[in-house]
Structure formats: structure tokens, C-alpha cells
Structure 1
Amino acid sequence: MKLTFYGACKTVTGSCYLIETEDTKLLIDCGMYQGPKELKERNYGDFLFNPAEIDYVVLTHAHIDHSGLLPKLMKKGFKGPIITTKATMDLCSIMLPDSGHIQELEIERKNRKLLRAGKHILEPIYDHLDASKVMLQFKGLDYELVTELSPTVSIRLRDAGHILGSAIVEMWIKQDGKKIKLVFSGDLGNYNQPIVKDPTNIDDADYLIMESTYGNRIHENLGDKKEILLKVIEETFERGGNLIIPAFAVERTQDILYYLGILEQEGRLPDCDIYIDSPLAISASEIFKTSVQYYDEETKKAYEASGQSPIILKKLKMARTQEESMRLNEVKGRTIIISASGMCEAGRIKHHLKHNLWRPESSVLFVGFQAEGTLGRQIIEGQKTVKIHGEEIAVKAKIYNVEGFSAHADQPALLKWVGSFKKLPRKVFLVHGEIEGIERLKGLLEKNLSLDVIVPDWQQSFELAAEKQVSTPKKLTDRDLELLYNTVINKLNQVYKSEIEKSDLELLYDKLKNIEKAI
């Protein structure tokens, strides 16, 4: 059985892993690359495998860096099922067409420049119609259900606690009369997050393919995110500015609404207007409202007690149309605008940054991971000017970066999750992280848990085999050792006092060998 890494190698985007057994080829995720130009270029090239030969895709969750190239996979010949949770299927039904629409707009803008320069125009990787079409191949499964995909492959999806419907994939592969168990962590969530459940503990694995996004970081202020948010709002409004929050449309937007809702219920939310300016985030919020079965116990009880969704606010307004979004560019203060994309790479957030970054009275609050090379990363790293839609914009607004809002497990949470395995994996492959985070986590896993850790390169393949069966001697109890000790002493006394029988010596030798094995 072969495992090949076609994405998320020493970077946090483009997740894609190919499993090849004697009768099945399947992908875990088929994500889009984001960030630096050299990574984005991979989205436009040919797949490094034949999509028509892939039997299944197993999708861990809906984020575009995990699902974003599925329409392209279909266009290039993939005709098999896409296996995922029902919530992920619902979210992809809005996220993939939105991704296609964004690509159409971006290509249209680029092509205007290319035509003026007399150059060849570009085509989008896929459009919104391709994205809608691929949804016909989705198949939603419940958590905890063991499903046989082929005579050699069975899977089970477990809750990853990252976003609504996110999954850890347990996979059992039959080979040479034995079973090999692989576990793909997907993206793991932090413990004690709002709305979603904690990541599921896994009993065992032969091979673990694990994310490492925050492998070198500890989220600060995990317990008082509501108070941090209130402080940022109050400081911004005191200066007379707007608060711009770049937020992923799925999960992060809903988390922010959850905390704003609590502040509103407590009567502590300052008088202001709150806008969600993202059609995708609005649609995702509608899915969240009806997905009560995925809530954690605390959120579910609050919902049952009040009969109201935890992300509903009286002050909340929706900017659905382009015209409504553009009107927000004229707002000068006491307004909170939550908009996508979360890394500021595309979408309406770029317009809001363009109209607010240069204003010292305004604030920008980052609440999620910013990949290397993204506009968001440039801003949090302190660049004095950034380029938005070809125009240089001064960065004078107050910049806040609160990692405690992240839906990704931090370093202690990652170590806690691996440490919860009842039987540790034989090998761990670290993916979905930048090199500094990967190396730090690798060192801790090797030191603290004595694990064999591998950091795969892009396109690198590994042959995976079943563990050789080695008979394990019975573990001796303290009573067993005491009896053996007494036997040895008695026999040694006999050697010095009288003749010892050959059979006694043989028996003593066997017992001593058992002690040696036990030790």
C-alpha cells in the first residue's frame, strides 16, 4: 500500500493525499493552494495523478484549502463518490460555487489588464456551474459509522472539533491477510470552543497523518475571548473608527457572532451597527442555525432553553448585495464589519481594508491563521504599505491579532490529542504547517512521546506495511518476581550445600530467562 503527499507539505494549504491499495485509489482531500504566487500556480497545473483513476475522495471538511479543487478534479475526469459528513456536504454546496464565482471575478479583472497589454487571456480553474455540478457526487455519512468502500478499504469519520462537520478519518486497509490502520487528523479544533464539540480521542493507529498549523504556538487568552473582543470594540469606538474583522465565512464568523450575542444579552455591547458583509457567511450562518445535532452540549442546552440560535443578534444586519456592500465604504465610525476572506486574499474584505487601513481611528482584528504570503500575513507582520487591487495603501489603522479565536488546535492541544491515543502510532507524518511549526512539533513528539516522526516533501511517496506480529511475554507481577527470586536463592544455597539435579538446573535456567524477558 502506497501513500503519496500531493499537498499541504511544509505549507498550510492545498491538502491532498493519495492512497493506493491493490484494488482502490482514493484521495484524502483535494484542496486549493493559497498564499504566495508560486503556491497558487499549482492550482492551474495538471494534477500529478490521473483523476479518472481515482475511485473515491474522502473529504475532512469544507474549507477551501481542503475542498477547493474538487470541481477541477471532476472536470479532469473524476467520476467517483466524494465521501464526507452531511454538514460538510451542506457547507460545500455554498462554498464551492462561491469559490468558482470569486475565481470568475478575479480572472475577469486580470483579463482586462491582459487585453489592454495585448496578451493572451486566462480561464478560471473552474466556474460556479462546475462547482454546482460536482455536488452531485457528494455522499454524506454520519459520524461513527464504519463504511466499507472496497474489499480492501473501510473508513470511519470522527468529529475533529474544527468546524461544523469537520472529520478525523480512520481508515483500515487489508493487505496480505493483515490490517493496516491509518488516521488522518484533518484540521483539529481547540478544546472548549463555542458551538462545536471537542476533537474525538482516537484509540490507536499504525500511521498517523497529522496537521501542525500551530505546532510552535500557544494560543493566549483562550478563556476570555469575549472580554478581548469587547476591549477592541471600545478602544476603536473611542477613536471614532470602524472595526473591520476579516473572518472565514464558516465557523469564525459564527464564533464572533456567538461572543457578540453574549455581550448583547449581558447589556455590555456598545451602541453600534454590526454587518456581515459576505453572502457566503450569511448562507453558512443559516446552515449553522439548523444544525443543532452538531452543537456541543453547552450550546445545545442554551438553544433548547431559549429556542433561539446562539448566533442571532438584534443589532445584526446583512449586506447581501454588491450595492449594500459598497455603501459600507462610506461608513465612518461605530460600525463592526465582518467580511471574508479570512486571509484577505479575495472577496469583499479587500474593499473594506482599502477604505479603512489608512485611517488611524479604525481597527482591524485578525481572528484566524494568516498563511505565509497572504495579504493578512503582510498586515500582521507590520508592513507600512500593502497593495490592494493594484493600489498602494498605507497601514495606519490599529492592528489586533488574537490567535485565541482560532479554530485550530494550538501546540498543547495537539500534544494532548496525540497523547490520548491508547496505543501510539508507529509513525507520524506531519503536514499542514509551515516548516518552523512542523519542526517544533516534531521535536516535542519525539522527545515527549518517543514517536517516529516524518516530515514529507511534496510528491514524496511511502510504502506502508502491516506491523510484524511479535509474541509478547506475559508481564510478570511483583508476586511472580518475588517467587522467582526466592527460587533462585534457594537453588543457589543448594549448590553450595549439596548436589543439585540436572533437571533443577534446567528449570532454574528457564525461570531466569523469563526474568530477563520481563525486564
Structure 2
Amino acid sequence: MDATLKFCGASGTVTGSCYLVQTAGHRFLVDCGLFQGTKTIKALNYGDFPFDPASIDFALLTHAHIDHAGLLPKLYKHGFRGKTYMTAATQDLLSAMLPDSGHIQEMDVMNLNRRNARRGKPQIEPIYTQKDAEACQQHFEPVDYEQWLDIGGIRVKYWNAGHILGSASIEIEVPSDKPDEQSLRLLWSGDLGPNHKLFHPDPGAASDYDYVISESTYGGRTRPVVTSDEKRQILLEEIQTALKGEGLLLIPAFAVERTQELLADILILQKRGELRNVPIFLDSPLAIKATEVFKKHAASLEDIADHLDDINTEHIRFTESVEESKAINRIKSGAIIMAGSGMCDAGRIRHHIKNHMWNSNTTLLLVGYQAEGSLGRLLLNGARKVRIQGEEIQIRGKVKQIETYSGHADENELIDWIRDRKPIRHGLYLCHGEQEASEALKAALVADGMHEALISIPTIDDEVRLSRAGRPDFFANVKHRLKKADMVGWDAHNEFAELQIDLKEAFEQLADEKSRRALARKIKRVLEEK
């Protein structure tokens, strides 16, 4: 039996994971995630799905991260009524994460509409609301690892992916309509965790597939192999450097897993006396709720019980309300503030950046992947001025990054995982990566002995026919919502924001009123010529 696969997201880019599979009798999704990064990419969240949500029979979810699950409420809002299958831990995490996402979108749209009203621009609606996010969960169905599940003849098995709590790679068997023909065997990697990650076993799955769809986030990049103690020493050095001379440390942390892992290591360092007991503010209601989910599922994780008990220490101050969060602004030095989101694109970390990064005594420590066009990526690339919620912010603080806490496998670990899935008979698709990363991973796999013709790097909305009879064919004349060029580097919005900052700076540096008026006239003439 043939099937078709449409790459609806996380193809040529890292976020928006979503794949549509169609067989003779079924239409189903693997993941339905939110797009993050540039405004051009994020605009896809507001547009129509490249399929009719009401026509989807069911959905399979790899894990709870918003770039994999964040559009499920929109899917239900627009007519999907099937079940979404996921691990029990993923379901528990989403009970907090999706309503939080809906609330953030409502607040962001409210603030944007306030500015639009003053500018005479039309009002917009949020992608979905907190109420939508709560309603869609009525259709969630928990599954166990390594147990076959039959969904109307489609067989599904979840494997631990070692990425975050509840994360999975998903094996799918599509039965043939011919009695003497074997099922079509597919495998989605989901996001793969690094080997020897705190809390999780190494990622795994079976072997011998017709097609494998693999993430490629860290293609072209390798990390040194470090022990848990070596990792803590790297963190200790960054913290001590940041706090030296009464400095202030901001850590944008992903609420699920990264926050809990960082807190556990900071508290271990304090308990050993290697790090002084500075105040730690966890300014993330979602991270606080996620920690409770970790406690519920502690038995399924490795080496976690003691760490979770430590997180209740008096040295950590949980700030849930907006008022408590604003009160942190009075802290100018000698503290660690952890807040979401991990890419600095949403949540409370943006307010802390606005309030503190103008000060050279502040350090922003990035501990996770920063998508192209995200605020975190701009800061990492050395931007000295940025715009946050329409306000220009001078960046005088230091921006640092450590990758030892990454939740993703590096290139060597990706190659090892793919090698263990062989034979891969008809096709390997490298997704969930920027183009450069996917190309690097492809080259490394070819060097490792994999036939180049087996490896493809799709882009958003590409569609391919999957068959056991031979090499898959990409469909011609497919309508793409974005061009490849739109997904690489900065978009026009980033360029324009930088131009505004540069123009204002150049204008202010001119010596007199005459020079400023002359510059303004030149710009007007250029615009009139358009």
C-alpha cells in the first residue's frame, strides 16, 4: 500500500513540527506545533492549515514542547474532533503548557491591539485562547511506551526519545491491502535527546524501516562529551563570572526540563559549598507547574527524586503572580533570575531583558537552541540594540551561551541513532533543522557510508509518495506557503527593525538641525521614488 506524506512544518526550519500522512483509508498527523522565529515564519501560525482540520482522523504527538504541540488547540478550534495520542507524561505537561500558551497569546494580542488602536491599524485575534487550549484536551488519549496500539488498522508504537519527560519517537505500520505484501514501516524520530542526559535513558527504537523522518537540529555541530560534574563546573564558572562585582544573572530557560535540570545542578553546587547561596528567582508559573508534573512521574526518570526535593529549598523564590514578577525588578545585583521563554521570544524574560540588559553588570546566559530570527538568536549574534514590544532597548550587558544543557542530540549522536535504525530501505528525510544544519548532517551520513540518493531534505509543504516498491517521488506543482529564501536568516521585519535603530542613531549623531533636516529630506526623496 502506498501512502503520501506532506511536510507541513519543521522542514527547512526548526519549529512548527507537523506532518500529514494519507493512506487509502486514513488521514492523520504526526505533531501539530507552533512556528517560532522570524515574523515571516510566525505568520504561518495565523494562516490556514495546508489541510482541512475536520478531515483528519487522529493525531500522534511526539512530545509536549510548543513547537510540536502548540497548534493543537487551533486544530480543534477549526474542526478536528479525533483523538490525539501521546504519553501520559506528555498529557500531564500539556495540561499546563497549552493553557499557558493560550494565555500568552491573548496577552500579546491585547498589547498589540492597544498599540494598533493608537496607530489606526486593524485589530487582530489570537491564534487561540486559554479556553480553546483547555477544551481540546478532552480528546487526548495516553499511551504506553513500547506497546503496539491499533488505530483503525494503523499500528503505532512509542519509543522513549530521551529528550524531555514523556518524549517519544513514533513507529508506524501502514497495512497493505494485498494479503501477501508486508506493511509499510515508518519512523518519526521526534526530538532526540543527547546520550547520558540527566533524568533519561539514551534514545532508542527498533530497526529495519522503509522510511525514517529524523530531526537534524544540531547537524554540523558536536559537543564535547562531559560528565555531570564537568557540566556543573562549566555552569559554576559562568555563574561566578556573572555575579562577580555584584552582577545580575538572567537565564532564559525552557520551562520543561531545562529549568528543572539547571535548578538541580545549581542547588548541588550550593550544597557542596562551591557556589554561595545567592537568591534564585524562578519567574515562570509554567515552570513551577511543570516541576509538579516531574514529581508525579519521578518513578519513570533516572536520578531525580533527590533533585526534586532540593528544588523546594528556601533559596529558590517562586514568583507566580504578575505583581511578584514586577517586584523582581527592584533586584539589581547578586541574584539569579530564571524566566521563560528559552528563546526570549515570549513570556517574562523579555521584561527582565528590558529592565536589566542596559546595565553592563547584567549577564544573559543562553542555555538552549536559539531559532533563526528569535530575540535570543539576535542577542547571541551580537545585537547591541533590539526592539521589544515596540520599544528600543540598548544592550550593554554580556550575552553568553553554554551548550552542555542542550536537550538535543549533536551530530555524532544523530548519526549513531540513524545508524542503529538501519536498514532504511527507501528514504531518510532530514527535518527539524535549518538548511545548513540538515545539509551538514546529510554530508556526514554519506561520509559514514549511507547512500546519498536515500537522503532528502524537504522544505515546508513538500509532498512525497511513500511506497515499498521503490524510491519515493516528490510531487510537482505543490503550493508552498513560504519560499526557501524566506526561512533563511533575518526576514524583512528584522532588517527594518535594525534600520530603524541605525537610522535613529545616525540622526541623533548629526551635529546640527540643518544636517538632520537634510538627512530627513534625502530619506523622503528615496521613499517618493518608490
TM-score normalised to structure 1 length: 0.86
Deviation, structure 1 residue 271 = 2.5
Cα separation, 2, equivalents of 1:22 and 1:148: 16
Cα separation, 2, equivalents of 1:310 and 1:166: 24
Alignment partner of 1:205 out of 169, 193, 209? 209
Contact 2:4 2:464 in 1 (8 A): yes
Contact 2:211 2:424 in 1 (8 A): no
Bigger Cα displacement from structure 2, 397-406 vs 100-109? 397-406
Deviation, structure 1 residue 176 = 3.7
Q: How does 1:424-439 map to 2 (within 5 A)?
A: 424-439=424-439
Q: Which amino acid aligns with 1:291?
A: H
Deviation, structure 1 residue 269 = 2.1
Distance 1:199 1:313, change over 3 A: farther
Q: How does 1:96-245 map to 2 (within 5 A)?
A: 96-151=98-153, 153-177=154-178, 178-220=182-224, 222-223=226-227, 224-245=230-251
Structure 2 equivalent of residue 487 of structure 1: none
Cα separation, 2, equivalents of 1:233 and 1:410: 24
Cα separation, 2, equivalents of 1:257 and 1:186: 26
Deviations 1:336-383 (A, max 9, x none): 111001000011000111122111111111000000000000001111
Q: How many percent of aligned residue pairs carry the same amino acid?
A: 43
Contact 1:278 1:320 in 2 (8 A): yes
Structure 1 equivalent of residue 377 of structure 2: 377
Deviation, structure 1 residue 429 = 0.3
Deviation, structure 1 residue 467 = 4.8
Cα separation, 1, equivalents of 2:148 and 2:42: 36
Alignment partner of 1:14 out of 13, 16, 19? 16
Contact 1:273 1:336 in 2 (8 A): yes
Deviations 1:361-417 (A, max 9, x none): 111110000000000000011111111222222222122111111101111110111
Cα separation, 1, equivalents of 2:411 and 2:373: 22
Contact 2:426 2:468 in 1 (8 A): no
Q: Which amino acid aligns with 1:205?
A: Y
Contact 2:91 2:140 in 1 (8 A): yes
Distance 1:447 1:377, change over 3 A: same
Deviation, structure 1 residue 425 = 4.3
Give the secondary structure class of the aligned counterpart of 1:87: helix
Structure 2 equivalent of residue 85 of structure 1: 87
Deviation, structure 1 residue 113 = 1.4
Cα separation, 1, equivalents of 2:309 and 2:91: 21
The alignment covers a number of residue pairs equal to: 461
Does residue 440 of structure 2 align to residue 440 of structure 1? yes
Contact 1:234 1:270 in 2 (8 A): no
Q: Which amino acid aligns with 1:458?
A: I
Give the secondary structure class of the aligned counterpart of 1:23: coil
Structure 1 equivalent of residue 61 of structure 2: 59
Cα separation, 1, equivalents of 2:388 and 2:362: 17
Contact 2:209 2:422 in 1 (8 A): no
Deviations 1:217-273 (A, max 9, x none): 112464322111111111122121111000110111011012112112212221310
Q: How does 1:378-457 map to 2 (within 5 A)?
A: 378-451=378-451, 452-457=454-459
Structure 2 equivalent of residue 340 of structure 1: 340
Contact 1:249 1:281 in 2 (8 A): yes
Deviations 1:75-105 (A, max 9, x none): 1100000000000000111100000000000
Q: Which amino acid aligns with 1:211?
A: E
Q: Which amino acid aligns with 1:32?
A: L
Cα separation, 1, equivalents of 2:307 and 2:408: 29
Deviation, structure 1 residue 460 = 1.2
Give the secondary structure class of the aligned counterpart of 2:266: helix
Contact 2:162 2:201 in 1 (8 A): yes
Deviation, structure 1 residue 310 = 5.7
Deviation, structure 1 residue 422 = 4.9
Contact 2:10 2:16 in 1 (8 A): yes
Contact 1:60 1:166 in 2 (8 A): yes
Structure 1 stretches lacking a partner, 5+ long: 469-519
Q: How does 1:318-329 map to 2 (within 5 A)?
A: 318-329=318-329
Contact 1:215 1:437 in 2 (8 A): yes
Deviation, structure 1 residue 18 = 0.5
Structure 2 stretches lacking a partner, 5+ long: 471-530
Deviation, structure 1 residue 116 = 1.6
Contact 1:2 1:464 in 2 (8 A): yes
Does residue 364 of structure 2 align to residue 364 of structure 1? yes
Deviation, structure 1 residue 309 = 3.4
Distance 1:338 1:142, change over 3 A: same
